[in-house]
Amino acid sequence: MRSALCGSLAFALWPAWLTMVIRWSDRLRVVPAVDTTRRALTCLHIGLLAIVLVGLTAPVTLAPTFGRQVRTTYTVVLQREFQAEGELVAYMRIRREFAARAAAPVLAGLVRKIRDISGPPQGDNGATSTQTDLARRLGELQGGGAGGEDPARIVS
């Protein structure tokens, strides 16, 4: 308090000294710089508090919406996966059933007919060239065609 009173008294008694101090403070521009820095820090402080406020409230307000979207997406993906898995299981069942049903009786019957028609002479257990050729063709048909050949062309 005493120094403020002394300063006021000094400025009152020596006005030239007051103008010199005012010019000196204008040159330094300390007061505007301090004021600008204080305002910038206040704005920064308010901005950081706003970010914290948004960070605390955003999850609470957005959780129901995002939760619904995630559940919906998960449900759709799971349904597609079950559908694809079901299709694969059905395809494998159908394939296994037709392969087991059609191949065994038909091929066995064909082999018997070939043996009856062009079998080897009595006492010979070897296969004739016709039997060997037909057995090779049947094997290729059963395997889906050798070397990418068309099964219809092998039969003809």
CA distances from 11 to 6, 7, 16, 129 (A): 9, 6, 8, 133
131 versus 89: the higher-pLDDT residue is 89
Overall average pLDDT of the 7-29 stretch: 73
Its sign, for the CA torsion 130, 132, 136, 142, is: positive
CA atoms within 13 A on the CB side of 53: 6
Helices (H), the chain: 2-13, 15-28, 30-118, 129-142, 151-155
29 versus 50: the higher-pLDDT residue is 50
Which pLDDT tens digit goes with each residue over 54-104? 988 888 888 888 888 989 999 999 999 999 998 888 888 888 877 765 555
Own/partner pairs, 19-22, CB within 8 angstroms, 24+ separation: none
Which pLDDT tens digit goes with each residue over 47-61? 999 999 998 888 888
Which pLDDT tens digit goes with each residue over 132-152? 887 788 777 777 654 545 544
101 versus 116: the higher-pLDDT residue is 116
Overall average pLDDT of the 34-47 stretch: 88
